[in-house]
Amino acid sequence: MTALIAGRVRILDLLRRMVAVRGRLRWRALAALGPLVLFAIAVFVARLVDGVWPDTSRFGASVEYAFLPVLVFWTANLIFYGFGEEIGWRGFAQPTLQFRHSTLRAAVLVAAARAAWHPPLFGITPTYRTMPAAGFIVVAVFHAVFDIATTTPATTTLIPTLMGAGITIVGLLVIPSLLKSRA
């Protein structure tokens, strides 16, 4: 898609930004810790709703890919969801839209595209079927705010890539297992 719309120069720029790590230590820390904060909030909310602490013994494991060792699962998420999906949303779409729109408008447009992209998964994927809509909305809003704060046409895509993989590991694949333990 990037090659068709933006040409070879933007492909090379995107590849360079995929591995750039200089500066922005606060945002890298947020990318690493943000998903854990979301997880902690989900655990706390589950405690408030149910009156008991949820079982967190499966933290970091996948409901759908339970046969995978945790480290393999996390690596696959970084590669396929982090570099696969997030590079498209934040490495290409967000910066491209920011050439024509404000950062806020670009983030809202990307959030709308993401929202339109994911609903089929609610019919296909067991993890999504067990996820409440509120959980999906919280994750989408968190992503949009993170986009506004971290993504510009010149910034590294490594930060949103790490965040995307972390959200997938912690937010989308662990929270449903917590909800399952409440059922």
pLDDT digits (tens, 9 = 90+) for 163-177: 777 777 766 555 555
| Rg of the chain taking only CA atoms, in angstroms | 17
> How many percent of the chain have pLDDT more than 90?
1
pLDDT at 113: 87
Domain carrying residue 18? 2-182
Q: Between 18 and 113, where is the model more confident?
A: 113
Q: What is the pTM of this model?
A: 0.63
pLDDT at 34: 75
Q: Between 110 and 57, where is the model more confident?
A: 110
What mean pLDDT, rounded, does the chain reach? 75
**Total domain count for the chain?**
1
Task: Identify the band that residue 39 occupies on the pLDDT scale cut at 50, 70 and 90.
Answer: confident
Average pLDDT value for residue range 102-118: 84
Task: Identify the band that residue 23 occupies on the pLDDT scale cut at 50, 70 and 90.
Answer: low
Q: Between 16 and 23, where is the model more confident?
A: 16
Task: Identify the band that residue 2 occupies on the pLDDT scale cut at 50, 70 and 90.
Answer: low
